[in-house]
Amino acid sequence: MRLSEGVEWAVHCCTVLAALPPERTLGAGALAEFFEVPKAYLAKHLQALSQHGVVDAVPGRNGGYRLARATAKITLRDIVTAIEGPGPCFRCQEIRRRGPSGQPKRCYTAPCGIARAMWAAEKVYLDALARTTLAKLIAEAAHEVSHEQQAAMARWLEQAA
Amino acid sequence: MRLSEGVEWAVHCCTVLAALPPERTLGAGALAEFFEVPKAYLAKHLQALSQHGVVDAVPGRNGGYRLARATAKITLRDIVTAIEGPGPCFRCQEIRRRGPSGQPKRCYTAPCGIARAMWAAEKVYLDALARTTLAKLIAEAAHEVSHEQQAAMARWLEQAA
DNA sequence: GAATGGGTACTCGGATATAACTTGTCCGAGTCTCTTAGG
DNA sequence: CCTAAGAGACTCGGACAAGTTATATCCGAGTACCCATTC
């Protein structure tokens, strides 16, 4: 089990977008330059965020991306789900039905207990992600990141305007 | 993010091994027949379980696998970790250091807040898996599975002896 | 009849191909801006 | 001077390859059993 590195990219991009003045946007190219990642591939992930309503995409010359709603309303779960897809990590293949001691399908009404346990753990995981808002992440970072770097980021945002 | 289907195979195999009389073993071939899965590939996963101390492998003619300890001492976390590997799902690439506003490495002492949040969620997930013992799964299944199927499984275990 | 040595059959274990998915790239559709020509 | 039309440039969006991991397979090493031979 391994998450796509696109998740890390997406979350970081959202924190940068959160620093923008209202209505301003930032293009995939600018974000790719900011993080030194392949532009086209980052664009793919931003596209996923856009399709899931995490960010808004503005087409046209001065277009780009901006957060679709307030940082307090965006959670890590939203971003992870957008990048990784909605399906559960554990896919029950119902192998209990197969083999010599398997029974007809009608005998299996409830989901397999193993699958239920795995899904319950996944729910706990996603709930934990849902409790972490983008606003909380940014507030934490504000205390930890040096003023120097925050200034450097502000300067970069200006020149990228 | 997607778990290997080997996880499902491994857990089901453990429940079958738990039904064996003490000291009896079951080979990879028998388990593969029971679940109608490719024998060689299942063997690979059983090998992983063996290396992580979940099951014991007995070589030789009447050899095979048996649980390494009591079902109450084996958790879903043990099995998932054995199959999927020990590393975290989220691998922080430290992209915060990169790009035009990145700072020298010494400026980043604590792990990235994003990574901390992701890892905290993973810990919750693994803790949930660790609370689900094999004994609990089997006890639940005993109430749900029909007596007919339990008898079929017992018969199969006899003829596989 | 009992013991022993060897052959055989069955087991696990790791090294080896194939398939699927993640990663990475490219080009087309659409939109805003700037320029320029005309009124 | 103001307006408006058109070209241009920059944006997102989906379609198209390459690399890596998961899937599937095979063959070798080792062990216990079975049987024949011998005492």
Report CB contact under 8 Å: A137, B117.
yes
Chain A residues near residue B5 by CB distance under 8 angstroms: 91, 93
Whether residue B46 is predicted with pLDDT greater than 90 in this model: the reply is yes
Q: Which nucleotide is nearest to B29 (CA to C1')?
A: C11
With DSSP H G I counted as helix, E B as strand and the rest as coil, what are the percentages for chain A, rounded to 5? 60, 5, 35
Mean pLDDT, rounded, for B12-20: 96
Query: How far in angstroms lies nucleotide C27's C1' from the CA of residue A36?
Result: 23
Whether B134 and B71 have beta carbons less than 8 Å apart is answered as: yes
Within 9-68 of B, beta carbons closer than 8 Å to A belong to 9, 11-12, 15, 33-37
Indicate the residue of B101, B110, B122 with minimum beta-carbon distance to A153: B101
Q: What pLDDT is stored for residue B105 in this prediction?
A: 81
- Nucleotides on strand C with an atom closer than 7 A to protein CB? 9-15, 21-27, 29-33
Whether A113 and B137 have beta carbons less than 8 Å apart is answered as: yes
Report CB contact under 8 Å: A153, B9.
no
Q: In angstroms, rounded to a whole number, what is the distance separating the alpha carbons of residues A52 and A77?
A: 12
pLDDT in tens, A50-98: 999 999 999 988 899 999 999 999 999 999 999 999 899 999 999 999 8
Nearest-by-CA chain B residue for A150: B101
For residue A161, name the pLDDT band (cuts at 50, 70, 90): low
Report CB contact under 8 Å: A132, B122.
no
Within 123-152 of A, beta carbons closer than 8 Å to B belong to 124-125, 128-129, 132, 137, 140-141, 144, 146, 148-149, 152
Mean pLDDT, rounded, for B16-35: 95
Whether residue A9 is predicted with pLDDT greater than 80 in this model: the reply is yes
Exposure string of B32-53, with b = 16+ CB inside 10 Å and e = fewer, is: bbbbebeeeebeebbebbbebe
Whether residue A44 is predicted with pLDDT greater than 90 in this model: the reply is yes
List Cα–Cα distances, A158 to A31, A152, B122, in angstroms.
13, 10, 37
User: Structure tokens of A121?
Assistant: 């753990």
Report CB contact under 8 Å: B137, A146.
no
pLDDT in tens, B90-100: 999 999 998 88
For residue B106, name the pLDDT band (cuts at 50, 70, 90): confident
Q: Per CATH, which fold does A5-86+134-160 belong to?
A: Arc Repressor Mutant, subunit A (1.10.10)
Quote the distance between the C-alpha of residue A6 and its chain's center: 8
Q: How many CB atoms lie within 10 A of CB B63?
A: 12
Chain A span 12-51 residues with beta carbon within 7 Å of strand D: 27-30, 40, 43-44, 46-47, 50-51
Domain boundary assignment for chain B: 5-86+134-160
For residue B128, name the pLDDT band (cuts at 50, 70, 90): very high
Whether A79 and A11 have beta carbons less than 8 Å apart is answered as: yes
DSSP summary character for residue A87: S
The rounded mean pLDDT for chain A is 94
B110: contact with A, CB 8 A cutoff: yes
With DSSP H G I counted as helix, E B as strand and the rest as coil, what are the percentages for chain B, rounded to 5? 60, 5, 35
Report CB contact under 8 Å: B100, A1.
no
Q: Is strand C less than 7 A from the beta carbon of B61?
A: yes
Q: In angstroms, rounded to a whole number, what is the distance separating the alpha carbons of residues B146 and B150?
A: 6
User: Structure tokens of A15?
Assistant: 């924190």
Size of the A and B interface in Cβ pairs below 8 Å: 159
